[in-house]
């Protein structure tokens, strides 16, 4: 972000207050659940911003930088004993007024988010309520998170089963991934593939872009992909490709998918990826067949098989992933 060299420090902080005060007030309210505490936190945020302005290099937006300060101020307040003893309720009619309407329409989302552990609550609040990109959140909170570009299969079959030629598919995938690399993706997650041959084409294209790659296939309950590829076929067919992880995603719930993960472990020493379904979308809406607790309990078993990357696919949502993360943390995984 370009810095106006003509602004004095006082003028710049005053402009930040005018532009970002409302957003930071909502952010602090979501964290502290009390309007007066939120107002105090915003004041402290701008005082710290004034003192630390010389450290802001413009690598992120002003708002992302201010949000990181505000989150740390709120964390300090939440750790105080008097705050932990307070029973601070929250309802939508207590939200501070701002120049822009607040997105949620009832208390459900707010109450759910405030009940999450601190490290998950802050990320969800920044992304879903403050519209800050995950990459900026990771940088602001000094997280180890990376941003992956999801690359799925083409909706047509390769020759000889279909009309799509390998060279044509290669060009399509390369164009897609070049756009992702330009947008700042840290790695490519090539997932939900059912054809080993199409995966090989995709990985050849990805190999030209100097980014880490993970590969995941979608399996039927019989333990093979729709095109008949077994785990052994896949491990053999991809042995010459440098992959950060290999595994499965989609199609099956965690209980059905675990045997496939175990089969991967028998055939390869590569890091494994496991992203089963919680359900399948119906009519464009989530339709979970497995509730969050059951999903987290079953999916976390992947850690005992040796999976390195564990998550969720269709039917899961941030609440599912947060509970899964807590379960894994409790296992020491």
- Domain range for 175: 148-331
Query: Which CATH number do you get for residue 174?
Result: 3.20.20.330
pLDDT of 6: 65
State whether 54 and 172 are in the same domain: no
Q: Same domain for 46 and 109?
A: yes
Please indicate, yes or no, whether residues 157 and 14 belong to a single structural domain of this protein.
no
Does any domain span residue 162? yes
Radius of gyration of the chain (CA): 23
Q: Indicate which CATH number applies to the domain containing 75.
A: 1.10.1740.10
179, 219: one domain: yes
Tens digits of residue pLDDT in 9-52 = 888 889 999 999 988 888 888 778 778 888 999 999 999 999 88
Q: Which of 109, 140, 171 is the last residue of a domain?
A: 140
Say if residue 174 is in the same domain as residue 307: yes
User: Are the CB atoms for 202 and 154 separated by under 8 Å?
Assistant: no
Q: What is the pLDDT of residues 177-227, one digit of tens each?
A: 999 999 889 999 999 999 999 999 999 999 999 999 999 999 999 999 999
Q: Taking the model in full, what pTM does it have?
A: 0.62
Give SS3 for 140: helix
Locate all alpha helices (DSSP H) within the chain, ordered by sequence: 9-32, 35-52, 62-78, 81-85, 108-114, 118-124, 134-140, 166-183, 196-206, 231-237, 254-267, 292-299, 302-305, 318-331
Q: Say whether both 216 and 286 belong to one domain.
A: yes
> Residue 219 is encoded by which pair of tokens?
């399996």
Same domain, 192 and 131: no
Mean pLDDT of the 250-257 span: 94
Q: For residues 209 and 133, give the distance between their C-alpha atoms in angstroms, rounded to a whole number.
A: 23
């Amino acid at each position: 972000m370009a810095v106006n060299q003509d602004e004095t420090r006082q003028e710049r902080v005053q402009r930040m207050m005018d532009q970002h005060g409302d957003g930071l007030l909502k952010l602090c309210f979501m964290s502290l659940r009390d309007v007066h505490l939120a107002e105090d936190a915003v004041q402290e945020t701008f005082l710290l911003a004034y003192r630390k302005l010389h450290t802001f290099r413009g690598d992120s937006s002003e708002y992302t930088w201010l949000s990181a300060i505000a989150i740390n101020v709120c964390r300090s307040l939440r750790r105080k004993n008097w705050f932990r003893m307070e029973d601070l309720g929250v309802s939508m009619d207590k939200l501070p007024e701002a120049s822009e309407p607040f997105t949620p329409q009832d208390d459900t989302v707010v109450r759910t988010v405030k009940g999450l552990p601190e490290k998950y609550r802050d990320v969800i609040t920044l992304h879903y309520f403050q519209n800050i990109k995950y990459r900026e959140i990771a940088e602001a909170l000094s997280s180890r998170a990376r941003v992956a570009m999801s690359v799925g299969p083409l909706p047509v079959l390769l020759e000889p089963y279909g009309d799509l030629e390998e060279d044509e598919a290669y060009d399509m995938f390369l164009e897609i991934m070049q756009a992702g690399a330009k947008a700042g993706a840290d790695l490519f997650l090539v997932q939900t593939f059912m054809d080993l041959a199409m995966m090989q084409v995709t990985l050849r294209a990805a190999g030209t872009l100097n980014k880490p790659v993970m590969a995941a296939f979608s399996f039927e309950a019989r333990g093979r992909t729709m095109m008949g590829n077994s785990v052994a076929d896949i491990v053999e067919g991809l042995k010459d490709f440098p992959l950060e992880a290999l595994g499965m995603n989609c199609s099956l719930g965690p209980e059905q998918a675990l045997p496939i993960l175990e089969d991967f472990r028998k055939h390869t020493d590569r890091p494994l990826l496991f992203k089963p379904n919680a359900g399948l979308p119906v009519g464009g809406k989530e339709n979970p067949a497995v509730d969050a607790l059951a999903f987290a309990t079953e999916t976390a078993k992947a850690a005992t098989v040796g999976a390195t990357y564990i998550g969720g696919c269709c039917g899961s949502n941030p609440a599912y992933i947060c509970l899964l993360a807590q379960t894994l943390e409790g296992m020491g995984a």
